[in-house]
Structure 1
């Protein structure tokens, strides 16, 4: 018995094969017992040949017996020679890349159509059809069948693609053909999109239709992606032709998809936290663009779900806050933890900033949580504590406040007008002035460094701005005032001192933000910056005086401090000039009332703000340092055990 047969339907086009019109299927299909497989719309008559046993169905009826006739085996046969020639031509077209005339889409389609025509001329003969029908379940027949299927599908997909890109400009066609590998054209289209008027519109426009000027940034990005991706291009084409009704591009379905993804991610995070059981919480509040207070909730735990056990942090979401007091924030925290299914008794740590509503020892969030769970130890953010130390230093005396006021005024003056900014760029070689950041004082190093290394250039820009005829009167007055202030030796010396301090603090702040930072390393960094302040207090003023005098010499400024007016009196013939003594007195006043006050404030602030860290280090420090743990004897280990037990079980 012969095996059941599969049918291929080949529809011959009624017009030349190189055209791009849609052909209608034609031709009568012969009846066979095998299943019918529809192919691309460029084929017509049918042939049938047996399936292999692996592809045959038990319920299929026995196929008709067809007399076997051998295929022509000589390569000199006209039909075979023509088939080989068209195959070589199609392969040569696919491999050619240099000549655009021979690699055009129309020529490629013509080669494929010629190959199909040559194959059809061979398969339409009764001898090849009979030979295929009686080939049996052989590996050759299976390979031949797979090859015919792949060829037909490739031809159909190629024709549909050419219909889509037939009306596209050459540049867009090249981009779509090469896909995301065509980085050159992607860059051009991205720049075109950024410079277009649609780029500044809302993410969701007032219109949800494709290729509409008011459809917003989301659909505009989809349209841009379609220029480089054939799949997206075909999807948009089907939408425009109304071939599909569910295109998943509306704002509602996109929001729903995002919500589903967020829900799935949240459930995965909750599962990891519950497997770990114990966790710590990190909270921070900020205002969004709509001036609504929101609190971010981050959970820190040990991830034991994978083979590699790691301490990881997970963001659980933003919590809407109406009451920013300690009680209001605490209630929002408790409600959110209950909604996620977490037990408040499993909290083993809490970390916030140093705000009074968070850190307060009586009404703060940390105190209220400790009353509920005594094991939820509170540790303020180390970077924020270091930042507040700089804030304390910047407010230690009026001279320091005035210094940063001058720095901000310089930026405000030049950034207030494009003409004034152009004057600055004409004089400043590299670093431009930066605005001060009120929340991250360690980043003020950029603002001070721009003036520290370019003070003569910035002063020259202020001089030009003051004498320019087209400068506004208020800007002229500000330029003259800043020109005089920068030219004082007090400002130059303060600039050098603050640059040294901000640079050292910025280095420590970056290290504290490292993901591998631990308690022992944090204390090493804090001890290092405290040692730096102590050393700088003893040696920094003299070294800063030397650098400031060099800068003043370049700027043409006299390296002297302002002298308070003294009552004039008649000098005796044997009295010396006291001007040098007055200058020394001004230098001493600056050191005592400016330099020492600022550094003393830094030392005291660091000790107070990192006091809790020292307490934790006394309890858990030996456990986090292997060398310290090995150095302890049995008595010390027992004492450490009892201290930790009392601390954890209080």
Structure 2
């Protein structure tokens, strides 16, 4: 035997087994022993077995990459108690291992193999028949050497080598081929809990996959052909979705133009009369041109696979030939699938079936307390949203001194009503106070839904026009306001705001999709649109891809009218920018406004100066007293997008002219003012106290006075298109009269103003000298010629030209035909042929037979209305419609009244949606900039349409609120 010095860190190379001339060399299986100090531990990555046999010179190499467990040092391995008859050692005489002072040792190759293969309580037996075995190993630090063992015979060596190779091979498979090992060495579970854990894991994975399927519950399609399946919604939200559709009712677009389909060589279509026979469940999909069943859609999947086909749920029924019979067959008997779904729907809407059992048997007193508490909550919320006020506060804790408008108002109401005080706030059940934010939102939504429903119900089957515009709110989100214009049952023209929708962008396609989604949610059809009113933006009025073109592609009778108020404002802005003198005037007015309004001190000086002059004027008799006549005013700014702002700016400057002069002089002489401020103030004082400035100021004041009256008239909700065209025509006539006859009057106004404020008036017969120009560069002309020909006539002509260019609709054939219905001067504009031509613009309303009948009705109609004294004094088509209904002539001449209705529906201006944006700035202000889109829409509908909102009873809101979802309280 060979030995290794104790200090060496040597690798235990081989174990030589002498077998005649052959050699069996086995490494110590990659074991790196420790040094004497137990340092520098190294792990090896492989096992190599080399067997050399003399007779066949066979070399077998098996290599396995793995990381064995760290082995002990080269000291002798301490073995557990065992008995091996083949082991012979003089150092271990006692078979009871625990009593020996020296631990028994094994050969190194056997120790290594035992450790590497994880054998803990079993070791390879070492046969003692051979005495030719020489074991070469290191000497332990304790001096104990490995005992010599007799080498086994050749067969034993071969078998042992094969066993080692097989073990190494199996270990390789277990490390790198777990799937193969699982196949051949299947591990059985110790108990059934493993199977349960596996099933639970699979179930969790399935739920996770279902959870990944996102379904936007807020965007529920009304069209049954576009709806998601109930099974696609999360299971916890399905009942809410069902209640939503049950409260909304079946989709029944009764006024839709149902398309025809060839069935059996006959053109057939859906019969809207079927809605009368099956009002509670029959639905029609405009998208798929098919019939559906609402109840089966909501609960058919609960019946299992034996619940019949999907023709009334997914695919839709389209065989109009057998429609009525199939519908009755679908209903079936009391135990049919349909009637079972009806029972489930009724149970769902019965709140007593969906609340905790502890609330099933509430006492009458508890119900009465709940009604009192809910009514008080509704009254407080009704007041706040009607006034556009916020409900919640920044701190609503009990220790807060201001818990928000809602809680403070509710407490105020309780302090003045003992019966309410007993059931609200601290006297209410802790989990049923009805003050949570979600409860507030539900009540507001119930109010808004009822308000919108009344508007849609008022429209009924009448035609309507849409008014659209978009604007950004305080949180920089693009919002699209929607208003509808229609004629009610009394002949009154109505414009109602129905909602505001958030849009991702302002492209025509996005606006159209948002509009169609809104129509689908409220049961409106695009086929009933007979007019479109937008501003002049390219995405609205584009000839190829504008919104008006996209809608007219689907409904050719939805004629577009450019907002008259916008056109008038554009005409005024164009004059202010194209004419040099007018542009100079507004620049000077803007500079004066900026200098004074930029400082609070200067505004206060303006108020003090104006107040002093008013007192002096009243004392001297120059000013007359009266309510609102001499109110304090401020200078107003002119804005290109604000209607009437230019006119208001000029009026404020004229009214405050003397006070403005005083403030500018104070600023000029103030020692605290900078040199730049003094210089600009000096220049303005020099400019505004000239005849040129004053004459242009009064000229534009007179021109804008005429157009401002037109602007105010165009913003009326009940103004019809014929009267609007007449007002434009009158305004242009007034401007023409002013051009022909107004010069002398203007000159008198300017002269009186200059004399009052001591402004020099030039001699009109002398040569005009331009300010800031050399006399040699100016053509010689008198002052009277310059001010009248170069200024007065040019500005008025520019304004007239802009009005003619902007209001091009007046010259269109459609609007020219509409003027023939005007009752002015005893129907002097009546023209039967033009009215028949007007009817031809609406082919869906007037067939060929209707046109023939219309001709005969017009002959009788004109004789009747001209002989009626009550109709001789009216001047507008809106008044004509009311009179026709009042005298029931709409029944006698239905086609004539239809023409009147179509004319009144055509929009004039988008003032209604512009007012909606003004209201949006009040409702969603800087302090409420995190308000959601849905809540903002609900607040705006109730805030703007106050008359409709006020007509809704609390009981209606309570019923809507109770049916929205399961409530703790019962009524």
TM-score interval w.r.t. the shorter chain? 0.5 to 0.7
* Alignment partner of 1:621 out of 819, 840, 847: 819
**What secondary structure, in the 3-state scheme, does the structure 1 residue paired with 2:841 have?**
helix
CA distance in 2, matches of 1:562, 1:422: 38
- For the pair 1:293 / 2:495, whether they are aligned, the reply is no
Give the alignment's Cα RMSD to 1 decimal.
3.1
Question: In structure 2, the residue corresponding to 1:395 is in which secondary structure?
Answer: helix
Q: Does 1:269 align with 2:424?
A: no
Contact 2:577 2:583 in 1 (8 A): yes
1:216 pairs with 2:404: yes
**Residue 649, structure 1, aligned to residue 843, structure 2:** yes
Deviations 1:590-631 (A, max 9, x none): 544543333222212222332213433322222342766577
Q: Which residue of 2 aligns with 1:373?
A: 555
CA contact (8 A) 2:493 2:718 kept: no
**Consecutive unaligned residues in structure 2, runs of 5 or more:** 1-379, 615-631, 763-767, 845-971
Q: Indicate the residue corresponding to 1:599 in structure 2.
A: 796
Supply the distance in 1 between the matched residues of 2:593 and 2:783 (Cα, whole angstroms). 29
Partner of 2:444: 258
Aligned to 1:566: 775
Give the alignment partner of residue 732 of structure 2, picking from 530, 539, 545: 530
Indicate the residue corresponding to 1:547 in structure 2.
749
Please state whether the residue corresponding to 2:434 is helix, strand or coil: coil
Distance 1:591 1:631, change over 3 A: closer
Task: Say which SS state the counterpart of residue 742 (structure 2) adopts.
Answer: helix
- Partners of 1:393 and 1:534 lie apart in 2 by 16
Equivalent runs, 1:44-443 vs 2, <5 Å = 204-210=392-398, 212-213=400-401, 215-226=403-414, 228=416, 230=418, 233-235=421-423, 238-241=424-427, 245-273=431-459, 275-304=460-489, 308-428=490-610, 429=614, 430-443=632-645
1:358–1:588 Cα change, 3 Å: farther
Partners of 2:417 and 2:682 lie apart in 1 by 58
Classify 1:303/1:556 alpha carbon distance in 2 versus 1 (closer, same or farther; 3 Å): closer
In structure 2, the CA distance between the partners of 1:600 and 1:643, relative to structure 1 (3 Å rule), is same
Q: Following the alignment from structure 1 to structure 2, what is the Cα–Cα distance between the partners of residues 497 and 324?
A: 40
Please, what TM-score do these two structures have when normalized by structure 1?
0.60
Contact 2:533 2:563 in 1 (8 A): yes
How far off its partner does 1:298 sit?
Answer: 1.0
What per-residue deviation string (whole Å, max 9, x for no partner) do you get for residues 12-37 of structure 1?
xxxxxxxxxxxxxxxxxxxxxxxxxx
- Distance change >3 Å, CA 402–CA 326, structure 1 → 2: farther
Residues 1:480 and 2:682 are matched in the alignment: yes
- Cα deviation digits, residues 57-89 of structure 1 (max 9, x gap): xxxxxxxxxxxxxxxxxxxxxxxxxxxxxxxxx
Larger helix proportion of the pair: 1
* SS of equivalent to 2:636: coil
Give me the whole-angstrom Cα distance separating, in 2, the residues matched to 1:218 and 1:399: 55
- Alignment-derived partner of residue 152 in structure 2: none
CA distance in 2, matches of 1:377, 1:644: 13
Q: Distance in 1 between matches of 2:829 and 2:634?
A: 53
CA distance in 2: counterparts of 1:319 and 1:566, whole angstroms: 61
CA contact (8 A) 1:379 1:613 kept: no
CA contact (8 A) 1:396 1:598 kept: no
Q: What is the CA–CA distance in structure 1 between the aligned matches of 2:821 and 2:715, rounded to whole Å?
A: 22
Q: Distance in 2 between matches of 1:287 and 1:472?
A: 39
TM-score (norm 2): 0.41
Number of aligned residues:
430
- The answer (yes or no) to whether the contact 1:622–1:628 under 8 Å persists in 2 is no
Q: Which has the higher contact order (CA 8 A, sep 6+)?
A: 2
Give the Å deviation of 1:227. Answer: 5.4
Distance across 1 between alignment mates of 2:758 and 2:419 = 68
| Shift in CA distance, 347/489, structure 1 to aligned 2, threshold 3 Å | same
